[in-house]
Amino acid sequence: MTMPPQPEDAKEFLDEANRASDPAWSSWLAFLLLLTYVVVTLASVSHKALLLNSPVKLPIINADIPLVGFFQYAPLLFLLVYLSLLVQHVILARKYRKFTDAIASYEMETASEHPARERVHSYVFSQIAAGPKPNLITKFMMQLIVYVTFSVLPIITLLYFQIKFLPYHDVSITYWHRIAVILGFAMLILLTPLMQNTGPAPRRWDIKVGPQAEAWEASGTQVLLVLFLLPLVVGFSWLIATVPDEWIDRGLGFVAPASMRVGPEEEAKLLNPLVRRIVYGRLPNDNDKAWWRRWLLSYRVLIVEDTDFGADEEGKVVLRERNFRFALLSRSDLQRADLAWADLRAAQMWKTLAKGKLKDGQLQGAFLKEAQLQGAQLNSAQLQGADLSKTQLQGAELSYANFQGADLSGAQLQGADLSGANLQGADLKGAQLQGAKLDGARLEGADLAAAEVWLVDFPRDLANQSPPPLGLADLKMSPLSPEAKAQLKQDLSAGITDAAVLAVVMSRLDEVLRNEPPSWDDGNSWPDYVSKAKEPSAEELARFHAQLACNDTEGTIANSMAARAAAFESEPFGKGYAMPFASALLNEDCKGGKALARETRAALKTLISAPLVDR
């Protein structure tokens, strides 16, 4: 077939466009490789890496990049490459548009395609812009390739940056990721239509702005698609991928749990409010719901359970001043971690090993039941409303720590230094305090029933503290039996693998564990105080506990003590406790009561309305 006459400028336009198409095709392939590389790199960032702030290891080249720096600057570099790709293809589209405009008169006269279209470069983008008209299936597949690689995958990758880093709980970087998503979408909207070519006679719903050679064009379908996808993408980035308790989260109805326990309902409280209502709340209550809950939680909070963080290594894991709020760390080994000044509020640390530095840590409402904290440094830590029941705290440094309203029932506190600690309203029933230091400790309203206080330093101002502790008549002041000493030594040797920590703990328990009877300077002070102290009335105790709870604006003390209100009522000394305590917490002037969970408030209302015969 003979080639029809072709204007010289059309031939030049086509040759020029084909020359530009080859590097554009190479750039497109390179961008696809970059997309794959970035996604693989992001997928390798685990929750453990986020917790430890481990460097991001780049595949193939094995280079280590600081974690925070990677999530700060990698999206910016990705946007620049993406912008470069879009601009390059805008220029390529303009060159092919000149060619199609040059042959437009021939095609209108003959009502057929110019054979020169067969010479268009084989790159799929070039074929869509100026190649011969394909059949419907081929056309669909080519457009799918272009739309997915130029529009869908880049935006999904930017969202992936945000989702992977979200459990780190750095709100400022999360906002940068949200802005990056908006910038990527803006590039898509502003530049992609410049690649279109609807021809000189657009259809009814097509939009075309500017001269034909450089027109901003979009079909009606594309406009509708953008109007549909824009709120979805931006809405996901700003309303679904939220840091727990940030202002957006609170605006959506998120109520930060003041304390954490183990259980599905407790974990469900950490879900994004919209996800909880729209997705999780509609799931059937079967075995799969637990999997869905953890999967939906995994992009919001750190979940690092049953994990060893290098107990056999020599170096310390420095995690100072980090935000681990609401983290799920149960049964993990953190004994070499330096968590000084870390935020672990409402963290779940059931049976966790954390024998390192936790001084000045924020552990309000944390769930530390049965945790192993032997020899841990918790000086000045904030543990209001925390659950430390049956926790191993032998030889721990707890001076000036705040345990207001905390649950220390059955805790192993032998040889612990509690000098200056605030134990007001704490539950110390059955606590093992042998050899502990309580100089300057505040014990107003604490429950000491069945607590072991042999060799415990007597707080000098205890007689002046009001209301006095509960359960004084049940205090136990007998020395450990030889069998109990042997068992304690065995438990410590088995539970503490760090020789240095074990040596420190054993030295602090020397008087408790030695065979010869030690001298106890305060051996008479405790019995004298018990004989003279007057047990507080239920009403007096309720007022004091309510005051503690109401003064704590975060609600950790209120939630902890509200959970114990019914148990207090059942005690012989607690008749008449529950009603005044519950009434005070539900009073609108109680700051701590305003942070109570909905179910806790309902339980308090039940206590108030219970018949007198039940109380």
Q: What is the DSSP string of 513-533?
A: H-SSPPP-TTTTHHHHHHHH-
Rounded to an integer, the average pLDDT of 530-555 is: 90
Cα separation values, 164 from 41, 43, 141, 252, Å? 11, 8, 31, 22
pLDDT score for 221: 62
Q: Is the pLDDT of residue 615 over 50?
A: no
- Whether the CB-CB separation of 336 and 317 falls below 8 Å is answered with yes
Cα–Cα distance, 380 to 389 (Å, whole number): 19
463-467: long-range pairs with CB below 8 Å, 24+:
463/529, 463/532, 463/533, 467/536, 467/540, 467/541, 467/544
Asked if residue 358 has pLDDT above 50, the reply is yes
Residue 216: predicted pLDDT: 56
User: What is the spatial distance between Cα 349 and Cα 331, in angstroms, rounded to a whole number?
Assistant: 7
In this prediction, residues 545-564 reach a mean pLDDT of 90
Q: Which residues contact 322 (CB under 8 A, 6 or more apart)?
A: 53, 339, 342, 343
| pLDDT at residue 157 greater than cutoff 70 | yes
Dihedral pair phi/psi, residue 402, rounded to 5°: -105, 110
* Residue range 522-551: mean pLDDT, rounded: 89
Among 44-58, 143-157, 301-315, 364-378, the least confident range:
301-315
Average pLDDT over residues 553-572: 81
What band does 97 get if pLDDT is binned at 50, 70 and 90?
A: confident
Helix or strand holding residue 208 (H, E): strand 207-209
pLDDT band at 6 (very low <50, low <70, confident <90, very high): low
Name every residue whose Cβ is closer than 8 Å to that of residue 469 and which is 6 or more positions away in sequence: 443, 444, 445, 446, 447, 448, 533
Residues 6+ apart with CB under 8 A from 168: 50, 67, 68, 71, 302, 323
DSSP 594: G
What is the Cα–Cα distance from 360 to 536, expressed in whole angstroms? Answer: 32
The confidence score (pLDDT) of residue 196 equals 58
Three-state SS for 132-181 is CCCCHHHHHHHHHHHHHHHHHHHHHHHHHHHHHHHHHCCHHHHHHHHHHH
Separation of CA 359 from chain center? 22
Per-residue pLDDT of 171-182, as tens digits, reads 999 999 999 999
Phi, psi of 390 (to 5 degrees): 60, 25
pLDDT mean over 117-145: 89
Q: What values do phi and psi take at 353, rounded to 5?
A: -95, 115
Task: Give the rounded percent of residues in the chain with a pLDDT score beyond 70.
Answer: 91
Mean pLDDT in the chain?
87
Query: At 214, is the pLDDT very low, low, confident or very high (cuts 50, 70, 90)?
Result: low
What pLDDT digit, counting tens, does each position of 244-297 carry? 999 999 999 998 888 888 888 889 999 999 999 999 988 888 778 888 999 999
State yes or no: pLDDT of 311 exceeds 50: no
Share of the chain above pLDDT 90, in %: 49
The predicted model gives 479-497 an average pLDDT of 87
The answer to whether residue 204 scores a pLDDT higher than 70 is no
Q: In a 3-state reduction of DSSP, which class is residue 432?
A: strand
Q: How confident is the model at residue 314 (pLDDT cuts 50, 70, 90)?
A: low
Confidence of residue 218 (pLDDT cuts 50, 70, 90): low
Of 540, 554, 614, 539, nearest to 590 (Cα)? 554
pTM: 0.87
CA separation for the pair 53, 61 (Å, rounded):
20
* pLDDT of 475 higher than 80: yes
The pLDDT of residue 312: 46
Whether residue 612 is predicted with pLDDT greater than 80 in this model: the reply is no
Residue 1: per-residue pLDDT: 47
Mean pLDDT for 52-79 is: 93
Which among 8-12, 218-222, 424-428, 526-530 has the top mean pLDDT?
A: 424-428
DSSP for residue 392: B
**So what's the pLDDT on residue 613?**
44
* 151: phi then psi, degrees, rounded to nearest 5: -120, -55
Confidence of residue 212 (pLDDT cuts 50, 70, 90): low
- What is the per-residue pLDDT for 275? 93
Helices and strands, number each (H, E), in the chain: 21, 6
What per-residue confidence (pLDDT) applies to 3?
52
Instruction: List Cβ neighbours of 231 (8 Å cut-off, separation of 6 or more).
Output: none
